[in-house]
Amino acid sequence: MEVFLEQLINGLTIGSFYALIALGYSMVYGILKLINFAHGDFFTLGSYVGYTFLVFGSSFITAHFGLWGGLMAAMIIAAVCVAVVGVVVERAAYRPIYPAGRLPAVVSALGASIFIQNAIMVIWGPRYQAYPASLIPNIHIQLGGLHITVLQIVILTMSFMLLGILYWIIQKTTFGAAIRATALDKDTASLMGIDFNKVIFFIFTLGPALGAITGVMVGMYYRQISFTMGWNYGLKAFTATILGGIGNLPGAMFGGLILGVLEMLGAAYISAAWKDVFVFLILIMVLIFRPTGLFGEKVAEKV
């Protein structure tokens, strides 16, 4: 039972990472029908920006903000920087290509992904970087037989708060309604006075910012970051997006959480080496029986 609960918490932690990245994918997909392959690299970039901030500002941070304050500041700075990069990438690499259709945009997204990944490699070097251990609080607590760290609790709380905020923005605010309307029917939405460019601007700030925050959290959680890690997380997040039903934002959140939990339980009870196989097999099974994902609506075929 303890193993189960511990793995459940681990799974939820990783799942919330996937969910936060998946939201960025899903928003872009919903509006543009574009698989934004560069999104995983926004996440990596955020992780590296946070790392730089923590390493170079370490003495200043501990003196003025304390450990937690420093981590918060790192997240905010990473989010702002990467949001700017996100908007620039959209302007430079995607906007000129929209009129040409979906497939050229996919190649362009791959090109952007290669570019960001290698830019990170050129700037920070090809080796693994480690988040400074002295700056990350390391307090363990025992809850009955459960063994968890405070950091894990903070990360979980933060990601669930972020997911909640996002859910609120998308479901309850006017801007969220604009996004959903645009995702549903771009042309009608713009006839109703929704500014398409504003919506795009919004999703390309919010998505990368969320990715960057996740990147800093992953850096704190695993301590070690590398310039290629975006591929793996991006792939998992994309899987989560599809699992939940593509373009369906709450679906992407749940998809991410389910994926993380399944992965950890699979690692604990089946085999750690085969956990990814397990994840993809479940995805394939789900899609065979529900071809539009767990929460995907049945969409009538357009002719």
Partner 1 sequence: MIQEAKRMGREGFFGSQSLFFATLTLFIMYPFVVSDYYIDVAFFFGIYALLGLSLNIVLGEVGLFDLGHAGFYAIGAYTTAILNTKFGIPVLILLPISAAAAALFAYVVCSPIIHLRGDYLCIVTIGMGEIVRIALINNPFDLTGGPNGVYGIDFPSFGGPFVIDSSIEYYFLIWIVVALSIYGLIRLQKSHIGRAWNYIREDEVAAGASGIDVRYYKLLAFVLGAALAGVAGNIYASKLMCVSPESFTFWESCLMFCIVLIGGMGSIPGVLIGAAFISLFPEIFRPFAMYRMLIFGTVMILLMMFRPGGAWPRKRGAAEHPPLHPGKEGIDG
Q: Which positions touch partner 1 (CB under 8 A)?
A: 29, 33, 35, 37, 92-93, 96-97, 99-108, 110-119, 121-122, 126, 231, 235, 238-239, 242, 246, 273-274, 276-277, 280-281, 283-284, 287-288, 291-293, 301-303
Nearby residues of 291 by Cβ (< 8 Å), 6 or more positions away: none
- Least separation in angstroms between residue 83's CB and partner 1 is 20
Measured CA distances, 78 to 89, 112, 211, 217 (Å): 16, 19, 9, 11
Residue 106 or 156 having the CB closest to partner 1: 106
Considering the complex, state which of residue 158 and residue 246 has its C-beta at the smaller distance from partner 1: 246
Tell me the closest approach of the beta carbon of residue 70 to partner 1, in angstroms. Answer: 31
Q: How far is the CB of 146 from partner 1 (least distance, A)?
A: 30
How many whole angstroms separate alpha carbon 236 and alpha carbon 240?
Answer: 6
8, with CB counted inside 10 A (0-12, 13-18, 19+), is: middle
Strand ranges in the chain using DSSP code E only, listed in sequence order = 129-130, 140-143, 146-149, 224-225
Residue 6 CB: number of other CB atoms within 10 A?
Answer: 16
Nearest to partner 1 of 93, 229 (CB atom) = 93
Query: Contact at 8 Å (CB) between 24 and 42?
Result: yes
* CB 38 to partner 1: min, Å: 9
Query: Of 101 and 164, which has the nearer Cβ to partner 1?
Result: 101
* Ramachandran class of 98: left when φ > 0, alpha when ψ lies in -120 to 50, beta otherwise: alpha
Q: Which lies closer to partner 1 via its Cβ, residue 6 or residue 276?
A: 276
Residue 21, classified by CB atoms within 10 Å of its CB into exposed (0-12), middle (13-18) or buried (19+), is buried
Q: Would you say 35 and 280 are in contact if contact means Cβ atoms under 8 Å apart?
A: no
Residue 282 CB, nearest distance to partner 1 (Å)? 9
In this complex, which beta carbon is closest to partner 1, that of residue 105 or of residue 258?
105
Nearest approach in angstroms of CB 186 to partner 1 is: 11
Beta-strand (E) ranges in 164-292? 224-225
Q: Taking the complex as a whole, how short is the minimal distance between the CB of residue 276 and partner 1, in angstroms?
A: 5
Q: Closest Cα partner for 124 from 219, 48, 38? A: 48
Nearest approach, Cβ of residue 53 and partner 1 (Å): 24
Residue from 187, 168, 170, 166 nearest 179 by CA:
170
Round to whole Å and give the CA distance between 204 and 31: 11
Rounded Cα distance, 121 and 213, in Å: 20
Closest to partner 1 by CB, 60 or 274? 274
**Beta carbon nearer to partner 1, 139 or 289:** 289
